[in-house]
Amino acid sequence: MKKTKISQAIVALAMSAAVMAPAFAQHAGHAKASDSAAVQYRPDVTYTLRTDIADGKLVFVGETGAMKGVANPTLNVPEGAVVQINLVNGDGAVHDVSIPDFNVKSNQINDKGASTSIVFKADKKGVFTYICSLPGHVAAGMIGKIVVGGAVAAQVPQGADISQNPMMTGKPVGARGPQKLSVNLETTEIVGQLADGTTYKYWTFNNKVPGPFLRVRVGDTVEVNMANAKDSHMIHSVDFHSVTGPGGGAAVTQAAPGSTKSFTFKALNPGLYVYHCATPMVAQHISNGMYGMILVEPEGGLPKVDREFYVMQGELYTAQRHGTPGEAEFSLEKLLDENPEHLMFNGNHDALTKTHRMEAKVGETVRIFFGVGGPNATSSFHVIGEIFDRVYNLGDLTSPPLKNVQTVSVPPGGATMVEFKVEVPGRYILVDHALSRMEKGLAGFLHVVGKENRGVFHTASKPDADSGH
């Protein structure tokens, strides 16, 4: 089987929350009721193995990272971690993967390229075995070790934190009249942290992905000054979807390294708009992180809410597969095939799950300014456990909003504004409801704190797993 086909099989593994739940549930019956606030929709550690024949024996072969090509590699995981093991059939015989000590066993896979997975919680320390449970396959060589709580190799390297703080939404315009404003942007090329142990050379506006959230009023006159950093290698520019003029400003801001370009526009139309670099190859510049949003508030401003958050979805196309440590490199082939290895909110995998804490209190009204940088994938934006009370579809702030919406479709280069009241405490997960994308890094958390609201939601049962949605 060709490596490209195996790669496609790995990418195609359907490890969404709904698949994760049954396997995890087998070994999570001891969960406490308080765990309901910490539902986990992604594993802490993921390994991918391929079945093969080596030196006349049946073996598991590592597919990613330091264990790539290693027969029956030792899997090191922290105690208490949620672990996912993907298995790809590489030899055409019938196989499965099983860890008897954790009472987990995958489906059998019969054909070359077929794949399966198991998920479990490594809640006891020690050295255990993973095996193929088919008769005779352990004797034939399909057995490896999984070490729980042992020494785990340090993840390297480390890059700059390029993730955008979702709380940086700027000051509302309120009831003021039109003004003259200046916006200063700097385009930079920096090695940033993509995931644990993985970095990427991002191209950014103001060292963050997405770029700064800009907030103006309809009728404002806005001067845009765009400087390209001296140490850049590329020409960069900026195209504002809110601008009426050639290229949204891109035609006059093609700036070489070390130079600055400027233009002035009048904000004629209220709405929530995307901006991005528009230098050829435009899709590459956008994918590498060069996108952001500008809010043009209507006359009188927006209605007051308790919390506002700035969230954008993007894609990265890397030569290395998702999960490979080291510095990931751009892949033109995958970009043209529209096959991203990574999808993320606010720049990297940890932005809205570990780095920045989005929090609201029970009874508060939340507003999310949501946009898609892209460059290619449409988002089905959804907050698990909530319903959008109001959706300002396509960033339209003057038409009556849609009401009681579960999921909203946002195209690349598009935006929406959603509002909802949070009535029950817990951790709510922001997703693209094309849920396979969660396995490529696309998830965020909204933490709601406060007293229980038993009139809206209560249960006497104990949560036993990552129950899916």
pLDDT of residue 326: 87
pLDDT of residue 278: 98
Q: Tens of pLDDT along 375-415?
A: 999 999 999 999 999 999 999 999 999 999 999 999 999 99
Tell whether 77 is covered by a domain: yes
134, 223: one domain? no
Q: Which pair of structure tokens corresponds to residue 339?
A: 């096959």
Whether the CB-CB separation of 372 and 379 falls below 8 Å is answered with: yes
Q: Tens of pLDDT along 25-51?
A: 333 333 333 334 455 667 888 899 999
Tell whether 223 is covered by a domain: yes
pLDDT of residue 24: 40
72, 167: one domain? no
Q: Tens of pLDDT along 68-82?
A: 889 999 999 999 999
83, 232: one domain? no
Of the three residues 125, 148, 171, the one that is the final residue of a domain is 148
- The SS3 call for residue 278 is coil
Q: Tens of pLDDT along 252-303?
A: 999 999 999 999 999 999 999 999 999 999 999 999 999 999 999 999 999 9
Residue ranges at the known binding site: 236, 241, 276-277, 285, 290, 433
Average pLDDT value for residue range 455-468 = 66
Q: What strand order describes the sheet that includes 239-240? A: 214-217, 291-297, 271-276, 239-240
pLDDT of residue 20: 40
352, 253: one domain? yes
Q: Is the pLDDT of residue 427 over 80?
A: yes
Tell whether 204 is covered by a domain: yes
Of the three residues 111, 131, 148, the one that is the final residue of a domain is 148
Tell whether 263 is covered by a domain: yes
Q: Name the amino acid, one letter, at 232.
A: S
162, 139: one domain? no
Q: Is the pLDDT of residue 467 over 50?
A: no
Tell whether 416 is covered by a domain: yes
210, 61: one domain? no
Structural domain range at position 200: 155-422
Tell whether 453 is covered by a domain: no
Q: Is the pLDDT of residue 15 over 60?
A: no
162, 142: one domain? no
Of the three residues 122, 148, 174, the one that is the final residue of a domain is 148
pLDDT band for 118, please (50, 70, 90 cuts). very high
pLDDT band for 8, please (50, 70, 90 cuts). very low
Average pLDDT value for residue range 304-323 = 95
219, 342: one domain? yes
339, 206: one domain? yes
Tell whether 285 is covered by a domain: yes
192, 73: one domain? no
Cα distances (Å, whole numbers) of residue 316 to 37, 286, 322, 341, 461: 31, 9, 10, 6, 41
Cα distances (Å, whole numbers) of residue 97 to 74, 85, 89, 137, 300: 14, 8, 11, 11, 61
Burial 104-114 (b: 16+ CB within 10 A, else e): bbbeebeebbb
Average pLDDT value for residue range 180-184 = 97
Q: Which is more confident, 22 or 60? A: 60
Kindly report the CATH number assigned to the domain that includes residue 138: 2.60.40.420
Q: Is the pLDDT of residue 10 over 50?
A: no
171, 299: one domain? yes
Number of structural domains (the chain) is: 2
Minimal CA–CA distance to 86: which of 59, 62, 65, 111? 62
Tell whether 336 is covered by a domain: yes
53, 186: one domain? no
Element (H, E) at 345: strand 342-345
pLDDT band for 197, please (50, 70, 90 cuts). confident
Rounded-to-integer distance, Cα 195 and Cα 211, Å: 19
Q: Tens of pLDDT along 320-341?
A: 988 888 899 999 999 999 999 9
Average pLDDT value for residue range 349-374 = 97
Q: Which pair of structure tokens corresponds to residue 208?
A: 């963050």
Residue ranges at the known binding site for Cu cation: 236, 241, 276-277, 285, 290, 433
pLDDT of residue 150: 74
